[in-house]
Amino acid sequence: MKIRVSLSLNVFDFLTYEYTGAETDIVPGRRVVVPVGNRVATAWIVDRESGFNRNVKRVFALIEDGFLPDERYLTFCQSVARTQLRSLGSVLDAGLPPGRKSLQNFRIAGEAQALPVGRYSAAELASLSRSGPLRLLPRKEPVCDTPAGFLSPPGFEHVLLLGHRRDARLEEFAEHRTKQGQAVLWLEPDHLSAAFHCGRTNGGVIYDASLSPRERERLWHLAQSGGLRRVYGGVLAAMLPLPNLAAVISDRSASPLQRRIRGRSGLPVHLLGETRARAFDLPLLEGAAVHTVQTFALGDRVRVEDERGERRIHLGVHPIPAHEKRVPESMVERVKRYRAEGKKVLLVVNKKTSTPFLYCQNCRRMQICPRCRGLLVGGESLQARCRDCGFSTPVDSGCGRCGNALVEILDVSIASLKKRMKAEVEGGGVLTLTAKDMARMDTVRAAVDAAPLVLATPSVLNPFFKGLFDAIVYFRPETSVDMNDTRAGEWLFYLGAELREWVKDGGYVDVFSTFHFFYALKLLEDEKGYYAREMKYRRWFHLPPFAHVYQMEIRHRDLRRLGGRMREVAGEATPEMKIVSRTLLGHRRVRGFYRGRMEIHAPPETLAATGWLKARDMVIRIVSL
């Protein structure tokens, strides 16, 4: 009998294999071992029958580890695979602990020596499975693999809680569900946020990449048997199979402060939470400081509970020149004034160390690379070099415009600001914090409580320090985002709203930003006006949430044929697609191929229908959802 499977590799298509075992073994969601070329790979059964009539290879083995995803979990993984342009098998693999993914941790049932299956070659497994598919068991027997009874879904409802006091409401909701013997999935953007909320309750566990493989294996088995009631985490927690799941909570998971913390799989945490709640037909409680484009576009389809008007926060947005590298005097004066008034101040900067840029005092300009127009930097080597293209020239050659001697200017960073603040503001009472210091949260919290001025990277903006400061000053938040990204303005708008949650009631938030993003921060007091303007632009330019942004890279050994292939792809585009740009990536071969890049704005189902995902001469990746 023929079956269709989805490989645990990045192969988008389903493949057909011959299964010679019992028909009752073929259940969607079971794992098998199949040959792929000269290799061996794991795969997930999709359906029992296939219309493929040609000769195909045999299934080598059936994995019997006690895990069988139910229909709702399969629907959830199919939605993620379709949206993220991934194979269904790779998404299902994301829900397994590390020990269940490798064939080194399985043995052949009934074999005396119990060697790891990963030690066998494809030819050896083919020989052993001639009489029928092998049965593979975990080398270490599972702790508990008995699935619990499934709950009847309460129904999907999207609730958005806005305001600084939403934590109590979310914890009350989670406590009510767990007392009824149900499980709650609580998604956070980073480990510190998960640790904060988990520490405030009893019976909760954190399931993320910070755990050891052995501990993740233990918690995974416990989740399978229905023994986990409250799970905190990010991507890994969102993919955890929970048979008694009753609700999904997603707090700050769309925050731009942690947008790069998306796990190795690259899946956005807040979208995973929404997809899982819809697939399982469960209520979704989303906590945030402000609307996102997605929630604003939903309109009446999301129930909003807004409590932000209860606090009065003073917001100041101060424009600075885009190419200014020195510490703004206005920012120093602002910090001085706050400290003179006895306020506890947090000064946030994105850089830890300074870069020595070369500056001409006569021209009053930074030195620019003559090759690529990037900025030149100095250093101990006495060479002015470009970090973008590698161009270098002696520093003593002088200014490229007037020939005068150059001086080094250190840009704004934790190191340069600490020196300045010690000299002019606190005289030695400055505490500096980075992400590395957050591992010692017990001692860090005490030090922050005692420090009148804290100088830190954005890692300090986590729930442990919420409501602790009288004033927050953030220097150039836009340096942490890609200025070419279509979501940059929204991220800064969201960031400004989040900063207001970290100060005390009646506190001050000052943002020193370049004029390019000035409007996004200035419109914080007019949320509807900002999003109405943003939605209008996104509809014009075919951007999310109206379409996804994809980047397609096409390669060919012949330059002319590459150009022909790119024109062919452009001709195949449907009216729902918009090809924004077509670029040739250099006139030289890289590893034997010329490469071209195209940016395509289209809905995921439209892109999947083109058949481009099956083409071997192109790679498509998601840029923006």
Confidence of residue 232 (pLDDT cuts 50, 70, 90): very high
Residue 547 burial (10 A CB sphere; 0-12, 13-18, 19+): buried
Q: Which of 27, 61, 35, 48 is nearest to 133 (CA)?
A: 61
pTM reported for the whole predicted model: 0.86
Q: Is the per-residue pLDDT at 259 higher than 70? A: no
Calculate the alpha carbon distances from 129 to 50, 60, 77, 109, 316 in Å. Answer: 22, 6, 30, 12, 71
Percent of the chain with pLDDT over 70: 92
Each as own residue / partner, the long-range contacts of residues 10-16 (CB below 8 Å, 24 or more positions apart, any chain) are 10/86, 10/87, 10/90, 11/87, 11/89, 12/85, 12/86, 12/87, 12/613, 12/614, 13/614, 14/46, 14/88, 15/43, 16/50, 16/52, 16/56
Separation CA 420–CA 436 (nearest Å): 23
Q: For 394-415, what is each residue's pLDDT tens digit?
A: 877 778 778 788 887 777 888 8
Confidence of residue 260 (pLDDT cuts 50, 70, 90): very low
Strand, coil or helix: what is 340? helix
Q: Is the per-residue pLDDT at 262 higher than 50? A: no
Confidence of residue 488 (pLDDT cuts 50, 70, 90): confident
Taking a C-beta distance cutoff of 8 angstroms, is the pair 476, 322 a contact? Answer: no
Question: Within 10 A of 155 (CB to CB), how many other CB atoms are there?
Answer: 8
Q: What is the DSSP secondary structure assignment for residue 306, as one 8-state letter?
A: E
Lowest mean pLDDT among 517-526, 534-543, 568-577: 517-526
Q: Is the per-residue pLDDT at 246 higher than 50? A: yes
| pLDDT on residue 268 | 79
Q: For 42-51, what is each residue's pLDDT tens digit?
A: 999 998 876 7
Architecture of domain 157-309: 3-Layer(aba) Sandwich (3.40)
Architecture of domain 311-354+411-526: 3-Layer(aba) Sandwich (3.40)
Taking a C-beta distance cutoff of 8 angstroms, is the pair 549, 622 a contact? Answer: yes
| pLDDT on residue 557 | 92
Per-chain mean pLDDT for the chain: 85
311-354+411-526 and 548-624 share one fold:
no
Question: Within 10 A of 310 (CB to CB), how many other CB atoms are there?
Answer: 10
Q: For 552-588, what is each residue's pLDDT tens digit?
A: 999 999 999 999 999 999 998 888 889 988 999 888 8
| pLDDT on residue 277 | 93
Separation CA 277–CA 285 (nearest Å): 10
Question: Within 10 A of 132 (CB to CB), how many other CB atoms are there?
Answer: 14
Q: Is the per-residue pLDDT at 19 higher than 70? A: yes
Is the bond preceding 133 in cis, omega lying within 30 degrees of 0? no
Average pLDDT over residues 261-273: 64
Q: Which of 76, 77, 95 is nearest to 86 (CA)?
A: 77
Tell me the fold of 548-624.
Alpha-Beta Plaits (3.30.70)
Q: Which of 479, 480, 521 is nearest to 500 (CA)?
A: 521
Q: Is the per-residue pLDDT at 518 higher than 90? A: no
For 548, phi and psi rounded to 5 degrees? -95, 155
Domain parsing of the chain, residue ranges: 2-69+84-138, 157-309, 311-354+411-526, 356-410, 548-624
Confidence of residue 202 (pLDDT cuts 50, 70, 90): confident
Confidence of residue 544 (pLDDT cuts 50, 70, 90): confident
